[in-house]
Amino acid sequence: MNTLPIRQSVVNLCVKLSHLGYLAGTGGNIALRIDADRFAVTPSAIDYLSMHADDVCVVRLTDLQCIEGDRTPSVETSLHARVFRLRPDVSCSIHTHQPVASACALLGRTLEVDDEATRQIIGPYVPLIGYMPSGTALLAGMVGRAIAPDLNAYLMRNHGVLCCGASLEAAVASINALEGLARRHLAKRIAEQISTHPRRAVALHRVLQTLESS
Ligand SMILES: [Zn+2]
């Protein structure tokens, strides 16, 4: 099977997410399932806006062996593999350092989903995965323990987020839904601070305006 079309889909998705501000430089990574045994994954340390389909790696799900592509697969390849193994329904797994949801990941709390439309996309809540250094088996293990059938978005403490979906489009919808939820959550917290700390109101209003215009 020619894997070039699916590797090109990874390139297109990286460009799209970069333009949306969800991927910046070499930060974040994407994996797209090819079949039951293989998935395509972004290479390590590459600028996504100058990446080509040939740069995208094809990796075997069982042992993470790179079977196509000359580059080194992303450091988070084992993390995406965990998602694919634990969620046979998932075709696309995305890890980003997207700005607002990553700010929420610094707060160290699970996010409750506050509306039905978002719940339909990412599930009833967004769990917080504890901190472990990037690219480690410890992080992949922690992610593995958090993955649940009805949850398509996860906060990674002091790091970023992980989203997934049954298709590439569904995974992008999870990314968008999570960022919107995080924005509403932070705006609500800032508004609460304004009412309880009137002396800091001017500074907090400025933060709120920045958040709403970002
Ligand atoms: Zn990361």
Cα separations in angstroms, 4 against 69, 131, 207: 10, 35, 44
Sheet holding 57-60, edge to edge: 66-68, 57-60, 38-41, 29-33, 92-96, 160-165, 153-156, 128-129
User: How many whole angstroms from 59 Cα to the centroid of ligand 1?
Assistant: 19
Q: pLDDT: is 147 or 209 the higher one? A: 147
Q: Across residues 178-200, what is the average pLDDT?
A: 88
Q: Which two tokens stand for residue 190?
A: 């800032």
Residue 196 has pLDDT above 90, yes or no: no
pLDDT tens digits, one per residue of 2-50: 999 999 999 999 999 999 999 987 789 999 999 999 999 999 988 999 9
User: How many whole angstroms from 194 Cα to the centroid of ligand 1?
Assistant: 32
* 16 within 8 A of 25, measured Cβ to Cβ: no
User: How many whole angstroms from 41 Cα to the centroid of ligand 1?
Assistant: 14
User: How many whole angstroms from 200 Cα to the centroid of ligand 1?
Assistant: 33
- Dist CA 47 CA 98 (whole Å): 16
The pLDDT, as a whole number, for residue 31 is 98
The pLDDT, as a whole number, for residue 193 is 83
- Dist CA 91 CA 212 (whole Å): 32
User: How many whole angstroms from 123 Cα to the centroid of ligand 1?
Assistant: 22
User: How many whole angstroms from 64 Cα to the centroid of ligand 1?
Assistant: 19
Residue 211 has pLDDT above 80, yes or no: no
User: How many whole angstroms from 63 Cα to the centroid of ligand 1?
Assistant: 22
Q: Which two tokens stand for residue 54?
A: 């040939």
Beta bridge partners of 38: 60
User: How many whole angstroms from 212 Cα to the centroid of ligand 1?
Assistant: 25
User: How many whole angstroms from 99 Cα to the centroid of ligand 1?
Assistant: 12
pLDDT tens digits, one per residue of 86-114: 999 999 999 999 999 999 999 989 999 98
Confidence of residue 201 (pLDDT cuts 50, 70, 90): confident
Complete domains list, the chain, with CATH:
4-213 (3.40.225.10)
pTM of the entire predicted model: 0.92
* 194 within 8 A of 205, measured Cβ to Cβ: yes
What are the E-state strand segments in the chain? 29-33, 38-41, 57-60, 66-68, 92-96, 111-112, 125-126, 128-129, 153-156, 160-165
User: How many whole angstroms from 133 Cα to the centroid of ligand 1?
Assistant: 9
Residue 190 has pLDDT above 90, yes or no: no
User: How many whole angstroms from 202 Cα to the centroid of ligand 1?
Assistant: 34
User: How many whole angstroms from 161 Cα to the centroid of ligand 1?
Assistant: 8
User: How many whole angstroms from 61 Cα to the centroid of ligand 1?
Assistant: 20
- Dist CA 67 CA 73 (whole Å): 10
User: How many whole angstroms from 51 Cα to the centroid of ligand 1?
Assistant: 18
Residue with tokens 């994407």: 30
User: How many whole angstroms from 72 Cα to the centroid of ligand 1?
Assistant: 16
* 41 within 8 A of 30, measured Cβ to Cβ: yes
Which residues hold their Cβ within 5 A of ligand 1, which is an ion? 160
